[in-house]
Homo-oligomer: A and B are copies of this chain.
Amino acid sequence: MDIRRRQSKPVRVGDVQIGGDAPIVVQSMTNTSTADAQATLRQTYDLAELGCEIVRVAVPDRHAAAALPQIVRHSPLPVIADIHYDYRLAMASLRAGVHGLRLNPGNIRDPEKVRAVVRAAKERQVPIRVGVNEGSLPPLPPLGDGELPPPKWQRMVDAALWEIRLLEEMDFDAIKVSVKAFDVPTTVAAYREIARRTPYALHLGITEAGTLRSGSIRNAVGIALLLAEGIGDTIRVSLSADPKEEIPVAYDILRALNLRQRGPTIIACPTCGRIEVDLIPLANQVEEHFQKLGKPITVAVMGCVVNGPGEAREADVGIAAGKGKGAIFRAGQVVRVVDEKDYLSALVEEGQKVIAEKWA
């Protein structure tokens, strides 16, 4: 399975390129009150530490807008202002120095006000993400006799194309587009079509995906189907959970497709009635330890002679653990056999040697 990436027109959000040949960018959104600059910055630092590359903040009112200069000044990440309805908030955000705007021109309605925002963004070379979510589609025009309504993905694409034209008419092309739905097949159909109809970088996501577990799976399925077709330049996993939960899920999706690796990849067996060692805590401890070191090492934690050695050999470092004794592998070779109490320390020690060699 080869992924041939769609060639999109790149834009820059601060110092981060999205689209073109850039790696798929991971972003999130704060859920603090943006008016509280301190809390928003604290969350942004936490997100950055986990690997988030761009942060978006909601700007629902003038109190939020008033906090933006301070947020932009101290943020470790480029900041995108999320605006709905009131174009004056977009103008204030641009004056505050934000690096990107998320705007739904359909919500601002008056094209003259949209044009004012676009003019100001152009002067400052700030890109704008447009596009609709399924929840904010414009109302359906009256249908003729026997006429069927277009499918929802088509209505989403039509609305996004209308917004894009509004920007293009003003010679503005620093555009990203999103067409998110809750329903995965609808989302996939909409992105396929918008990918075909425009050259712009695409921001992928699933709206209102839900709670931590079921939302993570819904995001993974929808985002991965598109990325596997080469569609998508930046992703935002959205969950009804602490935004910090979104970042590891985003990297897990990219890692599963071999698109990006951040932190360790743990190959670990599912444990079965064949197992002679308590593997689940060992796998979790190994993951936790190497997560802190932040290097893209691959570690195998296997408790079984059936698939264990075969898999462990492929990893940078691994263990095939049996009853009381385990074989530690490094770069395809058994380097030592250790007692059960030393499984974790031996893996960590050998892993650190690999890290020292590969990422010194």
Contacts and interface: CB of A to CB of B under 8 A. Distances in A.
Interface in A115-165: 133-137
Contact of A31 (B248, B252, B270): B270
A30 B248 contact: no
A64 B273 contact: yes
A135 B267 CA distance: 11
Given A183-B258, A257-B185, A306-B136, A270 B238 contact: yes
Nearest to A32: B273
A92 interface: no
A107 interface: yes
A-B interface, 10 closest residue pairs, ranked by CB to CB distance from nearest: A135-B310, A135-B307, A238-B270, A58-B273, A217-B252, A240-B268, A1-B185, A221-B256, A34-B273, A58-B274
A348 interface: no
Contacts of A307: 133, 135-136, 207-208
5 contacts: A57-B273, A135-B306, A208-B268, A213-B216, A240-B279
Contacts of A258: 183-185
A249 B174 CA distance: 39
Interface stretch (A46-54, A196-204, A222-230, A338-346): A222-230
